């Protein structure tokens, strides 16, 4: 069983014309999956909007109130900007600045309830906002959907939850929230020396975190090594009741906000391999700032999660979805991004820096078992 959670709140919603999130993402994934025939009614759920009381399970009440007030007024005071990080270049004022992230959280909470009751897997592409702090917006994230979803899973009876983050940027907000936890294991693979400049190899977050910063041009062969030799063993040893995979699409080669070189096959392999390690799985979106690579990557993720075959040649409707995407700052993409769903593999050399980082984390894992 696999369920896709979506909403129309994302359609036409923009952080601003010059912001990296000026592009369509979730609507493009929904439209592409529908064009492929992959979203029958039985697999689709409309995301509710989380209520303020649910948000304060992690976020400070005064922050939630400030976020609501900012959306209503369309402006913030200097004091609110300084205190809560609202109305900045990264986290600007825009019409859906409260309702959109609250809907992403609502999707995560619904996903937790579905897998707790029925098992299976749920995809919530609007989620994955892993940088938000308890009382502050950060890194394009106004609310921390992964934290709220995982806390809900624990409340619903999960004893242990493994959080795996393959976004190009370290999920600092999630790690901070579960520092020292014995119920949540946080595993992150992210670009070294990239904002937010956290998640060092030696950073353990009180024993809860396994961090692997990777160098520029991180390729499919290196990801496969990391997945098989570090991620999967660290998850399996934890024996989780549920897995949360933050599947940010910004680690693919064409993304403008990272310098990694994965194909979207890496994301599909993470979904496929992790799915076998727990009876419940939630997959979210995350980063991703090229409209074609995001739409293709997350549609491939859904195909993998729901057991669909990916054709070599896309039907006309899918070609139309890809063809109408717009990225005013970058122009048109390569022909492959307009006509295919699955990237060609991007193999390469397995560098010593990757081997040594994985070996260090494996040694730590053996010592903790």
Q: pLDDT digit string (tens) for 220-239?
A: 999 999 999 999 999 999 99
CB burial readout 120-136, b (16+ within 10 A) else e: ebbbbbbbbbbbbbeeb
Distance CA 85, CA 269 (A): 36
Lowest mean pLDDT among 119-133, 190-204, 296-310, 326-340: 326-340
Q: What is the pLDDT of residue 368?
A: 87
- Residue 352 confidence (pLDDT) above 90: yes
DSSP state of 10: G
Residues in a beta bridge with 46: 6
Axis-axis angle for helices 291-306, 26-35 (nearest 10):
50
- Residue 295 confidence (pLDDT) above 80: yes
Distance CA 335, CA 20 (A): 22
Q: Give the residue, 332 or 42, on which the prediction is more confident.
A: 42
- Close Cβ partners of 138 (under 8 Å, ≥ 6 residues apart): 85, 90, 91, 131, 132, 172, 173, 196
Kindly state the average pLDDT of the residues 41-50.
Answer: 98
Distance CA 358, CA 369 (A): 17
- Percent of the chain exceeding pLDDT 70 equals 100
Q: What is the pLDDT of residues 308-339, one digit of tens each?
A: 999 999 999 999 999 999 998 777 899 999 99
Angle at 144 between CA 257 and CA 173, to 5 degrees: 65
Kindly state the average pLDDT of the residues 165-191.
Answer: 98
- Percent of the chain exceeding pLDDT 90 equals 98
Q: What is the pLDDT of residue 288?
A: 98
Kindly state the average pLDDT of the residues 294-320.
Answer: 97
Indicate the pLDDT class of residue 264, thresholds 50, 70 and 90.
very high
Give me the DSSP letters along 295-341.
HHHHHHHHHHHHT----SS--HHHHHHHHT---TTT----HHHHH-S
Q: What is the pLDDT of residue 331?
A: 73
Q: What is the pLDDT of residues 69-88, one digit of tens each?
A: 999 999 999 999 999 999 99
Class level of CATH domain 2-368 = alpha beta
- Residue 369 confidence (pLDDT) above 90: no
- Residue 147 confidence (pLDDT) above 90: yes
**Could you list the active site residues?**
131
């Amino acid at each position: 069983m696999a369920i896709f959670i979506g909403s129309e709140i994302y359609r036409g919603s923009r952080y601003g014309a010059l912001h990296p999130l000026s592009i369509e993402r979730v609507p493009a994934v929904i439209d592409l999956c529908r064009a492929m025939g992959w979203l029958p009614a039985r697999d689709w759920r409309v995301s509710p909007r989380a209520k303020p009381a649910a948000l304060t399970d992690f976020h400070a009440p005064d922050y939630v109130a400030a976020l609501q007030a900012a959306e209503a007024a369309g402006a913030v005071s200097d004091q609110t900007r300084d205190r809560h990080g609202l109305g900045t270049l990264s986290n600007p004022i825009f019409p859906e600045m409260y309702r959109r992230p609250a809907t992403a959280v609502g999707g995560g909470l619904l996903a937790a309830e579905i897998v707790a009751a029925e098992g299976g897997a749920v995809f919530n592409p609007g989620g994955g906002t892993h940088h938000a702090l308890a009382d502050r917006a950060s890194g394009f994230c106004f609310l921390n959907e992964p934290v709220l979803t995982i806390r809900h899973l624990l409340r619903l009876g999960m004893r242990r939850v493994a959080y795996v983050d393959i976004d190009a940027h370290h999920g600092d907000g999630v790690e901070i929230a579960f520092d020292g936890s014995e119920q949540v294991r946080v595993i992150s693979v992210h670009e070294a020396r990239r904002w937010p400049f956290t998640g060092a190899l030696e950073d353990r977050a009180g024993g809860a975190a396994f961090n692997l910063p990777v160098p520029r041009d991180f390729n499919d062969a290196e990801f496969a090594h990391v997945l098989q030799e570090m991620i999967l063993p660290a998850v399996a040893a934890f024996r989780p009741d549920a897995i949360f995979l933050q599947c940010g699409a910004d680690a693919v080669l064409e993304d403008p906000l990272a310098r990694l070189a994965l194909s979207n096959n890496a994301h599909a392999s993470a979904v496929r391999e992790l799915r076998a390690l727990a009876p419940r799985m939630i997959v979210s979106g995350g980063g991703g700032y090229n409209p074609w690579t995001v739409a293709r990557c997350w549609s491939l993720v859904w195909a993998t999660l729901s057991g669909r075959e990916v054709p070599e040649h896309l039907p006309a409707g899918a070609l139309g979805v890809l063809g109408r995407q717009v990225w005013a700052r970058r122009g048109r993409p390569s022909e492959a991004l307009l006509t295919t769903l699955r990237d060609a593999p991007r193999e390469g050399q397995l560098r010593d820096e990757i081997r040594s980082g994985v070996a260090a984390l494996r040694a730590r894992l053996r010592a903790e078992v």
